[in-house]
Amino acid sequence: MPTLTMIGAINTALSEEMSRDERVVLFGEDVGKRGGVFLATEGLQQKFGPDRVLDSPLSEAAIIGAAVGMAAHGLRPVAEVQFADYVFPGIDQLFSQAAKLRYRSGGQFTAPMVVRMPTGGGVKGGHHHSQSPEAHFAHTGGLKVVVVSTPYDTKGLLKSAVRDDDPVIFMEPKRLYRAVKEEVPEDDYLIPIGKAALRREGTDITLVSYGGSMVETLKAAEEMASAGINPEVIDLRSVMPWDKEAVLNSVAKTGRLLMISEAPHTASIASEVTATVSEELFDQLLAPATRVTGFDIPYPYAQDKLYMPTVTRILNAAKRVLDY
Amino acid sequence: MIKDKTEFQPFTPEPIRVLSDEGEWVAPFELDLDDATLKRLYAEMVAARMLDEKLTILIRTGKTSFIAPHMGHEGAHVAIANAVQKGFDWLFPYYRDMGLALAMGVPLVEIFGQMLGNAADPAKGRQMPSHTGSKALNIFTVGSAIASHVPPAAGAAISMKLRNTGQVTVCSFGDGATSEGDWHAGVNFAAVQGAPAVFVCENNRYAISVDLSHQTASHTIADKARAYGIPGYRVDGMDVLASYYVLKDVVERARTGHGTALVELEVYRYGPHSSADDDSRYRPKAEVEAAKKRDPIVRYRKFLEKQGLWDETAETELRARIAHDLDTALKQAEAAGEAPAEWMFEDVLSSRPWHLEEQRRVVLEELR
SS (HEC) of B165-208: CCCCEEEEEECHHHHCHHHHHHHHHHHHHCCCEEEEEEECCEEC
| Rounded-to-integer distance, Cα B342 and Cα B359, Å | 11
Give A96 to chain B, closest Cα distance, Å. 7
CB spacing of B189 vs A194 below 8 angstroms: no
Q: Is B132:B142 a contact under the CB 8 Å cutoff?
A: yes
pLDDT of residue B66: 93
Single out the residue of A313, A314, A312, A253 nearest to residue A281, CA to CA: A253
pLDDT at B2 over 90: no
Give SS3 for A26. Answer: strand
Closest CB from B157, B169, B189 relative to A62: B189
Cis before residue A241, ω within 30 degrees of 0?
A: yes
Establish if A272 touches chain B: CB-CB under 8 angstroms. Answer: no
pLDDT at A101 over 70: yes
- Residue A107: its chain B contacts at CB < 8 A? 124, 346-347
Give A35 to chain B, closest Cα distance, Å. 19
Single out the residue of A120, A22, A117, A39 nearest to residue A74, CA to CA: A22
Complex ipTM value: 0.96
CB spacing of B149 vs A106 below 8 angstroms: no
pLDDT at A74 over 80: yes
Give B299 to chain A, closest Cα distance, Å. 37
Establish if A21 touches chain B: CB-CB under 8 angstroms. Answer: no
Give A58 to chain B, closest Cα distance, Å. 9
Closest CB from A70, A107, A141 relative to B155: A70
| Rounded-to-integer distance, Cα B94 and Cα B82, Å | 17
| Rounded-to-integer distance, Cα B14 and Cα B234, Å | 7
pLDDT at A162 over 70: yes
Averaged over B322-340, what is the pLDDT? 97
Give A164 to chain B, closest Cα distance, Å. 9
| Rounded-to-integer distance, Cα A235 and Cα B214, Å | 53
**Residue of B126, B173, B344, B349 best to disrupt the A interface, most CBs of A under 10 A:** B349
| Cα dist from B276 to A53, B54, B66, B284, whole Å | 46, 17, 7, 18
pLDDT one-digit tens code per residue, A167-194: 999 999 999 999 999 999 999 999 999 9
Residue A121: pLDDT band (50, 70, 90) is: very high
pLDDT of residue B1: 66
pLDDT one-digit tens code per residue, B263-277: 999 999 999 999 999
pLDDT one-digit tens code per residue, B275-309: 999 999 999 999 999 999 999 999 999 999 999 99
| Rounded-to-integer distance, Cα B310 and Cα B44, Å | 14
Residue B4: pLDDT band (50, 70, 90) is: confident
| Rounded-to-integer distance, Cα A62 and Cα A81, Å | 11
**Amino acid identity for residue B170 in this structure:** V
- Residue A102: its chain B contacts at CB < 8 A? 347-350
Closest CB from A62, A73, A108 relative to B186: A62
Q: Is A128 a catalytic residue?
A: no
pLDDT at B5 over 70: no
CB spacing of A64 vs B151 below 8 angstroms: yes
Report chain A's mean pLDDT, rounded to a whole number: 97
| Cα dist from B160 to A89, B193, B229, whole Å | 25, 11, 20
pLDDT one-digit tens code per residue, A266-315: 999 999 999 999 999 999 999 999 999 999 999 999 999 999 999 999 99
CB spacing of A106 vs B122 below 8 angstroms: yes
Residue B7: pLDDT band (50, 70, 90) is: confident
Half-sphere exposure of A284 (CA within 13 A, CB side): 15
pLDDT one-digit tens code per residue, B58-74: 999 999 999 999 999 99
Model pTM? Answer: 0.97
Closest CB from B122, B145, B188 relative to A57: B188
Provide the strand spans (E) within chain A: 3-4, 24-28, 53-55, 76-80, 114-119, 144-147, 168-173, 182-183, 197-200, 205-209, 231-235, 238-240, 257-261, 290-293
Give SS3 for B212. Answer: helix
CA-nearest residue to B159 within chain A is A70
Q: Which of residues 81-110 of A touch B (CB under 8 A)?
A: 89, 92-93, 96-97, 100-110
Q: Is B298:B47 a contact under the CB 8 Å cutoff?
A: no
Averaged over B332-343, what is the pLDDT? 96
CB spacing of A105 vs B160 below 8 angstroms: no
Closest CB from A69, A107, A194 relative to B155: A69
- Residue A68: its chain B contacts at CB < 8 A? 151-152, 155
Q: Is A232:A198 a contact under the CB 8 Å cutoff?
A: yes
pLDDT one-digit tens code per residue, A192-250: 999 999 999 999 999 999 999 999 999 999 999 999 999 999 999 999 999 999 999 99
- Residue B159: its chain A contacts at CB < 8 A? 69-70, 73-75
Establish if A169 touches chain B: CB-CB under 8 angstroms. Answer: no
Closest CB from B131, B151, B346 relative to A93: B151
Averaged over A124-130, what is the pLDDT? 94
CA-nearest residue to B349 within chain A is A142
Give A222 to chain B, closest Cα distance, Å. 33
Q: Is B3:B29 a contact under the CB 8 Å cutoff?
A: yes
pLDDT of residue A15: 98
Cβ neighbors of B290 (< 8 A, separation 6 or more) are none
Indicate the burial class of A195 (C-beta count within 10 angstroms; 0-12, 13-18, 19 or more): middle
pLDDT of residue B258: 97
Q: Annotated catalytic residue: which of A129, A136, A139, A265? A: A129
